[in-house]
Amino acid sequence: MELYQLTAYTLIEKLNRKEITASEIITALERRIKELDLKVKAYVRIPNLDFSADYKNINQDNTLLKSLPISIKDNICTERNNTECCSKILAGFKPPYDATVIKKLKEKGALIFPLKTNMDEFAFGSSTENSCFGPSHNPWNLECVPGGSSGGSAAAVAADEAIWALGSDTGGSIRQPAAFCGVVGLKPTYGRVSRYGLIAFASSLDQIGPITKDVKDAALLMNIISGYDPLDSTSVNIDTPDYLKALVNDIQGIKIAIPKEYFVEGIEPEVKAIITEAIEKLKTLGADCQEVSLPHTKYAVPVYYIIATAEASSNLARFDGVQYGFREKSSDLIKMYKKTRQRGFGEEAKRRIILGTFVLSHGYYEAYYLRALKVRTLIKQDFDFVFKDFDCIICPTSPTAAFKIGEKIDQPLKMYLSDIYTISANLAGIPAISVPCGFTKRGLPVGLQILAKPFNEPMLFQVAYTYEQNTPWHKMKPKL
């Protein structure tokens, strides 16, 4: 096998045994990206790809990661390296600091890949079509989307253009593209991983998390990026377990809840059949699976798009052309603001800013935003009630497999429903993971989603690892 096909954990073992060098991995990745990325378009600013000798010769023998490269989504700040959220309004922005997750990775000896992965502008989308750099493509079918908003990260990992990657998840933006691309994607508990240095979409929902080739790599990456951060006021000061110890191939007696609301009209029959088969597999492995109800699930999408757009409207108010990024010239300050925002933001960004401003406006705040917050509490209480009797919840990651590029771009409501099964975890602040569980007749991956109570990521890893070790799906690669 080529080096770029191997998992991070396997490469680290080879580096420890001095069978390979970090420069050989980087050279192999560079070659792979040059061969494929004009088709996949997982990365941004790709034409001038040429890593310096500095990148190719680093080898930190005394660190955990030994200069193993990791790819980063374009909304996570990396010092003196373009971080633009795939938006014209942030063109040329180079942060003067690293995000906390980047600092943690560097401390462990990771090489931060110089190319950022593509994404929907400011993470607004479920297909990576809303990028000022153009859409990414699904490695399993180049005519299809890779999901979003972390579609570039998921496509890069699936196409072996990345060893592993970081994404961000506001309403499913790690898990849904992971499902579409046949890789592993984890959204941690809110507060488990620092958000400092993540350019905010919706501050009460955003979380940084791993996108990897298998569950073991996700556990290793979570070991590195988790933990309390005083620079993030939402970071929770709680002990971080060793997630690698949770990788036990045994789910005998674990109680799994199957929410009936996730198997109603709207789910593709093929997806439903594949998820049902995965549940049966978990039963044969010893799990106790029972149907439950999450009665407020039907309100998750409207609640999410009220809260998320309101917070986005507030967070994006800072992008006005004054201090950094794109600016339209004008002799009048107010006109400069207006022209900059009008021409700097894409259509989906403007749509969400307008929606968010509306629900926060005088006379509508109580009717929309405040009511949405109350229903959010009810959604969280549904999960709390189920987790009193069950260890985890199993459901589809997405109601469909990957759809064609352009199929839903002019139908925002249909696009928003792509996240119907992932949104609730963000509203409730609970952890969730997506793992590959099969393929449709068109050869497109389907993801199985596992949810657990807050800060119980070890349960996610145990169930996901057991399922993975007893099925072949994670070993399958797209034929590019």
Catalytic residue among 149, 153, 168, 398: 149
Q: Burial, 413: exposed, middle or buried (Cβ in 10 Å; 0-12, 13-18, 19+)?
A: exposed
Any catalytic annotation for residue 173? yes
Any catalytic annotation for residue 150? no
Catalytic residue among 66, 67, 71, 73: 73
Q: Burial, 475: exposed, middle or buried (Cβ in 10 Å; 0-12, 13-18, 19+)?
A: exposed
Any catalytic annotation for residue 314? no
Which SS3 state, helix, strand or coil, does residue 229 take? Answer: coil
User: Hey, what amino acid is at 469?
Assistant: Q
Under a CB-based contact definition with an 8 Å cutoff, are residues 231 and 194 in contact? yes
User: Whats the size of the chain, residue-wise?
Assistant: 480
Long-range contacts of 245-248 (CB under 8 A, 24+ apart): 245/458, 246/219, 246/457, 246/458, 246/459, 246/461, 246/462, 246/465, 247/215, 247/216, 247/219, 247/461, 247/462, 247/465, 248/462, 248/465, 248/466
Tokens standing for residue 172: 């499913």
Distance CA 75, CA 124 (A): 12
Catalytic residue among 136, 150, 153, 173: 173
Closest alpha carbon to 158 in 461, 471, 444 = 444
The vertex-124 CA angle with 85 and 105, nearest 5°, equals 45
Name the residues annotated as catalytic. 73, 149, 173
